[in-house]
Structure 1
Amino acid sequence: MFTGRVEDESTIYLTDSLISNYYVDPLPFRYVLGHELVHIKYNDFGKRIVWLGFKTVFSNVKRAESLLIETRADMLSYKYNDFSFVEVKGVLTTLKKNEKGKEKSRTYKQGYPSRSLLIEAMREYKDFSPEFIDYILEDFCSFQNVFKNTRNKINDLKKQFK
């Protein structure tokens, strides 16, 4: 798998396969490293572990919060790497193949965006903007059939991501 994770403010782990692929195609490496650096910038490390164990009526709220954290890291990696849309689409397609095509039904339950959703969103948006956040949250709420009172709580998350 071509993945990484942040341990703390000074440690990023990258998979051997991602590092080995660098000389074949450096773009996935740059994308994943950029994604993880954004997590450090916003002190995101360690938060997901707590959220995954949080099983209450608010689970869709926590999934949506995680989704925003992950899409922020994806969008800002795209932006900071100054990728063209064609380049980022290629990277996301490579990552999607490498992850064996996990799609919305599985990724949303884990609080992550699907690679296909990111490709759609990045075609339209170039930054982690309020419009992008609305797009992602609307897709999440529609796909998950989120009730109105929970949607209101999810919409309250927007304040954290200005």
Structure 2
Amino acid sequence: MPNIHISSSKYMAPSKLQGWQWLPYIDKIMLDVVKRAITIIDKRIKGSKPCEAAFKTLPDGKSFTDIWNLKNVWISYDPDRSGNKYGVALNKQHISITAYALAMGQWMTAATIIHELAHVNGAPGNNTQAEDMLLKCMLKQHHNPNIIGQIRNSKLKNVALV
């Protein structure tokens, strides 16, 4: 499962990019939300046949469990509370979840993590492919057909934003 970026991690987070930040979780409440979201995904969603099959249709062709088991994926914290952003994936290994998404609770955080993991598996940022994974990964109630990530080229390769 993905690693959580905390202060004691030996993780080299990306620098701030296009307003996004990859900070460690230092607030216990926010850390608890992301931990509960990871538990939901690990216990209830991982291994679900529709979710596994849907992830295999993404450009990199890996199952959800394949992506979930990657050792180099890290989940960081972004303090943005504007309501305009939920999460971001950078270079298929750096994920950051906003304070806004975390404040909506463990289920929205789980949905955001799954969306970002779809980008890790190659989902582009110019259509609803990443968001549509929620329909097959037991999070249909959190699916928003208006969410289209976007990819912006930068010095750090591609950034998939939501």
Q: TM-score, normalised by structure 2?
A: 0.32
TM-score by length of 1: 0.32
